[in-house]
């Protein structure tokens, strides 16, 4: 018998805003119970000396240092803008906030 009941699956589906038929609830109860069992097996295998990780391979973020480089002047950047004010692009207001 499944440790997850049909009502458990229906509750999770309701929280996720998923509409399921009666047949889907019955089928998914068994499938989700298997998934929970497999996760339990992984927890049994996890050794205390192995730190939790988000990825099995070591990852390093490849970034470059921020360096000031030659770029457009404000006038050049705003040259094609339909409207500008105070060296910024001027766009229509979309919110009614002050």
Q: For residue 1, what pLDDT band results from cuts at 50, 70 and 90?
A: very low
SS3 readout for 28-92:
HHHHHHHHHHHHHHHHHHCCCCCCCCCCCCCCCCCCCCCCCCCCCCHHHHHCCCCCEECCEECCC
Q: For residue 5, what pLDDT band results from cuts at 50, 70 and 90?
A: confident
Q: Express each pLDDT in 27-57 by its tens digit.
A: 998 899 899 888 888 877 767 777 777 888 8
pTM: 0.43
Q: Which domain holds residue 26?
A: 6-45
Give a yes or no: residue 81 inside a domain.
Answer: no
Burial classification of residue 28, based on how many CB atoms lie within 10 Å of its CB (0-12 exposed, 13-18 middle, 19 or more buried) = buried
Give a yes or no: residue 32 inside a domain.
Answer: yes
User: What CATH number did the domain enclosing 24 receive?
Assistant: 1.10.20
More confident residue, 78 or 3: 78
């Amino acid at each position: 018998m499944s440790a997850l009941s049909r009502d458990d699956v229906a509750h999770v589906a309701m929280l996720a805003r998923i509409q399921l038929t009666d047949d889907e609830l019955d089928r998914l109860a068994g499938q989700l119970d298997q998934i929970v069992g497999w996760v339990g097996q992984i927890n049994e295998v996890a050794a205390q000396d192995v730190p939790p990780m988000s990825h099995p391979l070591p990852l390093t973020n490849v970034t470059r240092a921020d360096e000031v480089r030659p770029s457009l002047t404000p006038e050049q950047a705003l040259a094609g803008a339909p409207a500008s004010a105070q060296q910024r692009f001027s766009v229509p207001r979309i919110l009614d906030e002050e």
